[in-house]
Structure 1
Amino acid sequence: MAANITTEYRMNDMRMLIQVIVVLFLCINLLLITTFFSKEVFYTTMRYLLFAVTLMSDSMFLFVTDILLIVNFSQYTIQMWFCLILYIISSLCMVVTPVTLTAMTLERYVAICLPLRHAELCSPRSTLHVILIIYSLSSLPCIVFLSIFFASASSASYTQSGTCAGETFIIYTWQGHLMSAINQFYFLIMGITVVFSYVKIMRVAKAASGEDKQSTWRGLRTVGLHAFQQLLCLIQLWGPFIEAAVSKINLMLSIKVRFFNYITFILAPRCLSPLIYGLRDEMFFHALKKIVLCGLRKKH
């Protein structure tokens, strides 16, 4: 009995910690989005526009997954139509971030390895096309999954209440395997793209000199951080399979594993975006500092 109470207290502490982290980074993302709209150069430059896409996608993903976490661990039941809406949003945002990171990596590759073509390939008009491609590619896995679900589920199932989780919409075992295969294929292509860009930029960095060398190595570190983010996103795909296997052994252990996966593979990669461009980028950092300082002066 005492052990169960202690475990419950620990779970409550973990929930509170997650809420603090989510609220903190939602506030940081909101501040960064405000900074993005403060200067024309940000919303006319590809890398900043793509950065804004990741911020908005990550913010929505954190918000929706946090709602699902609260609902599931509070053992609330919701109607499947509402769960379906939450699932569509979270599934889309989950893929948007790594696809956008790949696009940002390619932008760095063009800027460093093809500087004479950068203005042409990374113009504002090209950026809009890239954003449309990002959302089109990101929506494909969700469309495939939902098409199978709509074809298989009965109309009565949409008004039923139950626990909201991705497994709810898996009617046949092969659906889960198909989605896993599609996601793994996506991340394989993105991984190859990032590695290719990293190798090419490294060659340019070794051959460069002076200021060009410093700028190139900075771009190389940025691509490396993108690669680390994508690795965490890839591991996230294996989370449900690990949790399902552990739940058959020990329920309380599976809850702890779920918390660990959520913090390490869902929160962590989404929290790296503000670090990579919000704090490391000199121009963006100065604009951010100006907004923060103006806000503090107004309070005083």
Structure 2
Amino acid sequence: MPNLTELPSNTTSSSNLSIIVKVCVVIPLFVAFLYFIILTLYTFASHRQFFDSSRYILFTYMLINDTLQILSSVLLFLLVMGSVNFAIVYCAPLLFMSTATFLNTPLILSTMSLERYVAIFYPFHRPTIWKPEWIWVIILSLWFISCILPTVDFVLMRLKPGVDVYSTPVLCKTTVLNTSPIQSLFKVSLNGIFFAVVAVVILFTYIRILLETRNMRQDRTSVRKALHTVLLHGFQLFLSMMAFSQPVAELLLTQRVSLTQADMSFIYYFCFILLPRFLSPLIYGLRDEVLRSYMMKAMPCYATRVDPRKEMKTTKQDYNNCFCGFC
């Protein structure tokens, strides 16, 4: 009898410790990510010349989308960890924002790859739609496409009997809205098609730029840098696609490894949803020499050490020479 009464206490203590560890892992990275995002957006707002380049506009858009994705997903994570229940009418907007921004990420990656393709093959006769003053049309189109799937998801929503949208408190998870097997099958199929199309676009731009690198005799360095950028887009897309392998991994690993389903979900959430978005601004932002120099000057700890007489001035020619960006 004493052993039986001690077992629930030990289980509860272990569960609480697991929750504390998960929160302590996510929150510091989340704060560091927000600091970097605020610093980057401040740098963009302080130097208007960045908005004369489609590349930097798309990068800003990616930062804003990743910020919305992390804000919504981390809030949902904390609500689930705290077992906070509330009505679906308040839960639905969070799930909609989290899903839409998650799907928006591969669209942005493919668009940035196409922008590099256009910059390489049409440097002087760029199509109108890819010019900075028209790039907002592409951004609005990406938002529209990314909102289609969560909208259809909510239209097909079938709640359990006795659940009221306005009053019944529920745990805010996607499984609350996806209760129908047909709905789940439709969502998985549409996600597969969605990511396959994006993968083809990135693969096409990578192969075309790779062939161009071999053919060009001049300015091969710039083309090679663009090739590395597209390769990073493909790697980030791969990490995003790995998030869909969670059900299969749970079936294969939970029987062989002493991990609960909650722990497995957290590992996938951290590795394939949070981590790529934590790293993307560092990868793409710090690799750009022009942006990196401005960001360092904007940091308070760096600004106090800079001698104004020796401050390096980036000329317009230097700005244009950073042709392939994210280099």
- Relative to the length of structure 1, the TM-score reads 0.89
Matched, 1:256 2:281: no
For residues 210 and 169 of structure 2, what CA distance do their matches in structure 1 show?
A: 54
Deviations 1:39-75 (A, max 9, x none): 1121232111111111111111111111111111221
Question: Cα offset for 1:137?
Answer: 1.0
Residues 74-83 or 215-224, more deviating: 74-83
**What are the Cα deviations for residues 190-247 of structure 1, in whole angstroms up to 9, with x where unaligned?**
000000000000011112234x111111100100001011111111233366558978
Counterpart Cα distance in 1 of 2:248 and 2:67? 25
Task: Note closer, same or farther for the CA distance 1:143–1:240 as it changes in structure 2 (3 Å cut).
Answer: farther
Residue by residue over 1:175-204, the C-alpha shift from the partner in whole angstroms, topping out at 9 and shown as x without a partner, is: 011011111111100000000000000011
| Distance (Å, rounded) in 2 between the aligned partners of 1:36 and 1:26 | 15
Q: Alignment partner for residue 285 of structure 1, among 292, 315, 318?
A: 292
1:226 partner SS: helix
Aligned residues: 297
Number of the residue aligned with 2:195: 187
- Amino acid of the structure 2 residue aligned with 1:265: F
Residues 50-65 of structure 1 mapped to structure 2, 5 A cutoff:
50-65=58-73
1:14-53, aligned counterparts within 5 Å? Answer: 14-53=22-61
Q: Percent identity?
A: 25
SS of equivalent residue, structure 2 residue 83: coil
Post-superposition offset of 1:151? 10
The superposition leaves residues 153-184 of structure 1 with CA deviations (integer Å, 9 ceiling, x where unpaired) of 98833321011101100131110110111111
Q: 1:242 to 1:176 in 2, by over 3 A?
A: farther
2:239 equivalent to 1:207: no
Corresponding residue number in structure 2 for 1:109: 117
Contact 2:19/2:81 (CA < 8 Å) preserved in 1?
no
Aligned counterparts of 1:216 and 1:46: Cα–Cα separation in 2: 17
Give me the whole-angstrom Cα distance separating, in 2, the residues matched to 1:239 and 1:149: 22
Measured at CA, do residues 165 and 39 of structure 1 come closer, stay the same or move farther in structure 2, by a change above 3 Å? same
- Could you say which structure has the larger radius of gyration? 2
- Rounded Cα–Cα distance in structure 2 between residues aligned with 1:165 and 1:249: 27
Per the alignment, residue 166 of structure 1 pairs with 174
Q: Tell me if structure 2 keeps the 8 A contact 1:113–1:200.
A: no
Q: Which has more helix, going by share of residues? A: 1
Amino acid at match of 1:49: I
SS in 1 for 2:238: helix
**What whole-Å deviation, never above 9, does each CA across 1:256-299 have from its counterpart, x for those lacking one?**
1112111110112112321232101111111111211577529x
Alpha-carbon distance in structure 2 between the residues aligned to 1:146 and 1:242: 27
Report the AA paired with residue 128 of structure 1.
W
Alpha carbons of 1:3 and 1:218: their partners in 2 closer, same or farther (altered >3 Å)? farther
* More off after superposition, 192-201 vs 106-115: 106-115
Change (3 A) 1:8 1:156: closer
Q: What's the offset of the Cα at 1:136?
A: 1.1
Instruction: Tell me the TM-score normalised to structure 2 length.
Output: 0.82
Equivalent position SS for 2:144 = helix
Pick closer, same or farther for the CA change 1:152–1:160 going to 2, 3 Å.
closer
Structure 2 equivalent of residue 276 of structure 1 = 283
Distance 1:172 1:297, change over 3 A: same
SS in 2 for 1:36: helix
CA distance in 1, matches of 2:184, 2:72: 21
Q: 2: distance between equivalents of 1:146 and 1:6? A: 36
**Aligned twin of 2:241:** 234
Instruction: Determine if the alignment matches structure 1 residue 124 to structure 2 residue 138.
Output: no
User: Hey, what does 1:198 align to over in structure 2?
Assistant: 206
What amino acid sits opposite 2:121 in the alignment? C
CA change 1:280–1:166 in 2 (3 A) is: same
Contact kept in structure 1, 2:158 and 2:180, CA below 8 Å: no
Query: Which segment is superposed worse, 119-128 or 193-202?
Result: 119-128
Give the whole-Å Cα distance in 2 for the aligned partners of 1:127 and 1:86: 28
